[in-house]
Amino acid sequence: MQLAQTCEPAYRAPRPAPAPPLHTLETEFPTTPRTPRCSDCSLRALCMPPDLTAQQLAKLDAVICSTRSLKRGDVLYRTGDTFQSIYAVRSGSFKTVLMHRDGREQVTGFQIAGDALGLDGVCAGRQNCDAIALEDSVVCIIPFAQLEAVCREMKPLQQHVHRLMSGEIVRESSQMMLLGTMTAEQRVATFLLNLSTRLKARGFSSAEFNLRMTREEIGCYLGMKLETVSRMFSKFQRENLVNTNGKTIRIVDPDGLAQL
């Protein structure tokens, strides 16, 4: 090193300053994520009343000011959490779960894009179940106190929130009937047809889709063992009602399923 230093000339012209890296501007001025807007969301017809004016949508956009991204297996909220917001599933899917004292899970529902989460917390001011992402998902966060204030000004929105709450009552009543009166094959057939109808309403194929939940989770929702769920899928395939390939389901004969 000393030899190298003695060989350097006495005068060295100053070197030009290196060009800044391409990412410098992005680092100093990070791009702000675009605020979610109900007014330009493709799922608005599912989440919100269809006849809102532009002025009413602007007020709603001011309420729904943030989103939250979750990875598969992340928990959106847990049982006992203080209720502050409801959530609209923007993309992905969730399951809601009640935990028994002995540690067993009871799946109470599967929510997909356009569905609401967290309404069960309105009753006691605390969440009544766990909400867990079945895949990478995004939710819109709707602070409930602000939503109530807007509802007082917008009767169509108030009626829509009432319909959402009423829909939860109807869903739970249907679930009780499903668990209490239907056979195993009727439960699985009803589950597939219900999911097919919901996907069709969102513009997806009603005949072929991927199940984001496991067979075990389906059984936990339908009050059946994993082996029984698998046996019903095999039975439906033998009878050419559905075609299964891993998690991919193709409904071959929807009328046949409905007749069950």
Each residue's pLDDT tens digit, 42-99: 777 777 877 788 888 888 878 876 889 999 999 999 999 999 999 999 999 999 999 8
Which candidate, 87, 88, 71, 75, places its Cα nearest to that of 137?
Answer: 71
Q: Judge: domain 184-260, CATH 1.10.10.10.
A: yes
CATH superfamily of 25-181: Jelly Rolls (2.60.120.10)
**Full-model pTM:** 0.81
Tell whether the model's pLDDT for residue 36 goes beyond 50: yes
Sketch the domain layout of the chain as residue ranges: 25-181, 184-260
d(CA 6, CA 47): 76
Which candidate, 122, 94, 124, 97, places its Cα nearest to that of 108?
Answer: 97
Which pLDDT does position 12 carry in this prediction? 47
Token pair in block for residue 76: 């959106």
